[in-house]
Amino acid sequence: MPLGHRLLLSSAAAAAAAAAAARSSSSASAALRRIAGPPPPSPAPWGSAAPSPSSEGDEEEGGEVRVLLDSDVDSIEHDPTFGFQLYMEALSTKRFGRLLVWSPRISSTHDLVTKNFHELPIGTVCVADIQSKGRGRAKNVWESPPGCLLFSFTLQMDDGRKLPLVQYVASLAVTEAIKELCITKGLPPLDVRIKWPNDLYLNGLKVGGILCTSTYRSKNFNVCAGIGLNVDNEKPTTCLNAVLQEKTSSHRLKREDILASFFNKFENLFEIFSDQGFQFLEELYYDTWLHSGQKVVIEEKHEDQSVEETVVTVQGLTSSGYLLATDEDNKTYELHPDGNSFDFFKGLVRRKIK
């Protein structure tokens, strides 16, 4: 029997939820059907923009959907490429990540989780080996080949004022998870840094990114957080294990360990964030991001085509999660990611003209 479609879940409750999603949502079924079929043709490296591939011929008629408990994993004919037992043994959360959906290939973990949000318990995570239509900011579409940790998960918030800051909590959970993994496994440190607002950098090169989207329903914000992290694929920039092997040739980080460590960190950080606010995480965040004290030039073009330049110094984040900077006269500037073009490595911020 071909690999087809498989949902590999970590509990009986997970199986029931996933079965309900597959039965009740045609969009879920379509997303799952697109997993099947022959392997994708030489996908572009993670992090490189690629045109959306056509869905024609992408689906396999009569594709199978199977819902399995973790105890059933050994019964499938092909070994899954994700080590469920390794992951569950490393996971210590009470809620996040305990219900796991895995696919060898999917169009987008983010889309699947978003479309089936109300069928899945809060904390559900969807993991894929390959994505053909991964999502980024500004509706960018990405192809993601093997070697990346690709996942999306559900969470819920009731305070809309905190909503823009949750992506920073997720970013911080990634950097703290990798830091702790290296310590506990006796590995050299990997100095993964946050590039505002939602990128992850290692040795000056991008290795990951975060995307958070939300909808509002019944007085709650339903959030889907998606993360892509380059673990083993060295192109087009670098990856965690390539840098690690420059320091030690005998050890590699595994996706399962990173994912479990992420949720262990995220659950704790999210609890602090929800109960006490982001200000209790700010110091740790600023220790991890790339921008404290950075001087940048704000370049603004006026209607008469003249260009005005202002040198500012990054101070931190505003209470709304935007970038806070001051000029030499101590005038403050609040910079929004959707209203400006940022090139921090050139020290330049361009105000976009609508």
Give the pLDDT confidence score for residue 248 in this predicted structure: 81
Say whether the peptide bond before residue 197 is cis (omega within 30 degrees of 0): yes
pLDDT band at 78 (very low <50, low <70, confident <90, very high): low
pLDDT digits (tens, 9 = 90+) for 158-189: 999 999 999 999 999 999 999 999 999 999 99
Q: Of 266, 162, 167, whose CA–CA distance to 212 is shortest?
A: 167
- Letter string b/e over residues 139-155, b meaning 16 or more CB atoms within 10 A of that residue's CB: eebbbbbbbbbbbbbbb
Regarding beta strands 125-135 and 100-106, do their DSSP bridges make them parallel or antiparallel, or are they unpaired?
parallel
Give the pLDDT confidence score for residue 235 in this predicted structure: 78
Are the C-beta atoms of 64 and 4 separated by less than 8 Å? yes
In percent, the amount of the chain with pLDDT more than 70 equals 71
Give the pLDDT confidence score for residue 275 in this predicted structure: 96
Whole-prediction pTM: 0.80
Locate the domains of the chain by residue range: 11-29+64-287, 294-351
- In the β-sheet with 307-317, what is the strand arrangement from edge to edge? 332-335, 323-327, 307-317, 295-301, 348-351, 340-343
**Residue 51 pLDDT more than 90?**
no
Instruction: Report the SS3 class of residue 159.
Output: coil
Kind and range of the H or E run holding 271: helix 255-276
> What is d(CA 54, CA 66) in angstroms, rounded to the nearest whole number?
26
| Mean pLDDT score, 194-218 | 94
**Residue 215 pLDDT more than 80?**
yes
Q: What's the whole-number average pLDDT of the chain?
A: 78
- Letter string b/e over residues 337-353, b meaning 16 or more CB atoms within 10 A of that residue's CB: beebebebeeeebebee
CATH topology of domain 11-29+64-287: BirA Bifunctional Protein; domain 2 (3.30.930)
**Residue 210 pLDDT more than 60?**
yes
Residue 48: other Cβ atoms inside 10 A: 13
Least confident of 45-54, 57-66, 153-162, 197-206: 45-54
